[in-house]
Structure 1
Amino acid sequence: MSNSLKGKRVALLVTDGFEQAELTGPKQALEQAGATADIVSAKAGGVTGWNHTTPADTFTVDTTFDSARIEDYDAIVLPGGVVNSDTIRMDELAQKLVKDAARANKTIAVICHGAWILASTDLVKGKTMTSWPSLTDDLKNAGANWVDQEVVVDGQLISSRKPDDIPAFNKKLIEALAA
């Protein structure tokens, strides 16, 4: 276990219906690198992941959107999953956390449908990024330069397309936090 990220804290923002691998993969990589990775959600208790369209495991929520303060975190990770991403993009408290992270120039890392909240918060204009292909029009319409690549880094923004891209996504996320 490396301690390259010892002392770093990352908020993983999710609601029920997130793509489970897109939470567990980054969370495990961050923790193995020495970071604290908190699950942050709309309500206290548990939050349920999905394996594509099938409900999967429930995870303990560390803090809620209304209690989380961006000053306490070095980065935000936004896993995908259609249900989660469609819900979280409309949550004003989640939007505030993402906007606060952008204003504070903190790393914002999104996978798959997780990029929807960035389009909803007007944070993609002029950015080059990737996502699940069905978000192409949404991101382009919000002003992003969409590309089909495993992982894209544009300033503080890191984006990936799908669960298969998680190893490359994790590598870029850890590099950004270690810098």
Structure 2
Amino acid sequence: MVCLFVVYMVGLVQHCQSTEQDLKSQSFSSLGHKMAKSALVLIADGSEEMEFVITVDVLRRANINVVAASVNSPGPHIACSRGINIVPDLTLDEAVKKGPYDIIILPGGLKGAETFAKDAHVGKLLQQFEKEGKKVAAICAAPTALKQHGVFKETKLTSYPSFKDEMSAGGYPYSDDNVVVSGNLITSKGPSTAFEFALQIVEELEGAEAASNVAKGLLLPR
């Protein structure tokens, strides 16, 4: 009788330990899922390096998984607008296979934005993100690519000031704010607003507290 009781108690303890371990695993799994936000950041020859690097840096500080993807680049590196060379993680075709992503981000720079506007694959992705209710972010000249590909029509946005008339004529209500959030669209003005832009993306993906923590580490007000 005593032996049976001991066997029963040992089995009960093992069951409880197993259940506890399962709960811990589920908890860690849930936490991991919560932190698994991902961003696809495009870059092309002529992209504005400050807007690209600041955005990627800030998002990675927030533990967002960032993939930098080259668009229509003939070589392994991208020649940015001020002559700085950047080596992206993957080509766009390669990066798409690594998806899905929670947001697609387009830095500015006139030549880079023109490449985004002309690229059919970029257009297809933007249309897909809009259709699926996913977030899209564009800064400086990059909002012109949104217009070219016919996405987020009649959505309030901002851009580099010299594109104000073009965007307004294209049916986009224009704002002079540094950063504009309209539903799933995040836009911003240019190099001087790149930190605000990136921190807003962090807030949209991970919440205000996460954005404030990153800003604090960068000695930026928020």
Per the normalisation by structure 1, the TM-score is: 0.88
For the pair shown, which has the larger CA radius of gyration, 1 or 2?
A: 2
Letter in 2 for 1:25: I
Moved more, 27-36 or 163-172: 163-172
**SS class of match (1:146):** coil
Whether the aligned pair in 2 keeps the contact of 1:109 and 1:158 (CA below 8 Å) is: yes
**Which runs of 5 or more structure 2 residues have no equivalent in the other structure?**
1-31, 208-222
Map of 1:144 onto structure 2: 172
Cα pair 1:22 1:111 within 8 Å, conserved: yes
1:133 offset after TM fit, Å? 1.1
Q: Write the distance in 2 (CA, Å) between the matches of 1:19 and 1:68.
A: 22
- Match among 77, 98, 104 for residue 105 of structure 2: 77
The question of 1:88 aligning with 2:119 is answered no
1:4-30 C-alpha deviation (Å, 9 max, x unpaired): x73111011121110000100010011
Deviation, 1:72, is 1.1
Q: How many angstroms does 1:50 deviate by? A: 2.2
Q: Which deviates further from its counterpart, 66-75 or 153-162? A: 66-75
User: C-alpha displacement at 1:61, in angstroms?
Assistant: 3.6
Q: Aligned partners of 2:92 and 2:105: how far apart in 1? A: 15
RMSD, aligned α-carbons: 2.0
User: How far off is 1:70 after superposition?
Assistant: 9.0
> Mind listing any 5+ residue stretches in structure 1 that lack a counterpart?
none
Aligned length: 173
Structure ranking higher in helix proportion: 2
Q: 2:79 is matched with which residue: 15, 37, 48?
A: 48
1:98-156 deviations in Å (ceiling 9; x for gaps): 11111111111111001011001112422111000111122112211011111000000
Could you list the per-position Cα deviations for residues 55-74 of structure 1 after superposition, in whole angstroms to 9, with x for gaps in the alignment?
A: 11222342324751595101
Equivalent position of 1:30 in the other structure? 59
1:171 CA displacement: 1.8
| Cα separation, partners in 2 of 1:40 and 1:146, compared to 1, 3 Å | same
Secondary structure at the counterpart of residue 147 of structure 2: helix
Alpha-carbon distance in 2 for matches of 1:105, 1:61: 26
**For the residues of structure 2 that align with 1:135 and 1:65, how far apart are their CA atoms?**
29
Moved over 3 A (4+): none
Q: Taking CA–CA contacts closer than 8 Å with sequence separation of 6 or more, which of the two structures ends up with the larger relative contact order?
A: 1
Q: In percent, how many aligned pairs have the same letter? A: 26
Closer/same/farther in 2, CA of residues 69 and 102 from structure 1, 3 Å limit: farther
Question: Do 1:129 and 1:158's aligned partners in 2 also have CA atoms closer than 8 Å?
Answer: yes
The whole-number CA distance in structure 2 between the counterparts of 1:65 and 1:165 is 29
Does residue 154 of the first structure (1) align with residue 152 of the second (2)? no
Q: Does 1:115 align with 2:143?
A: yes
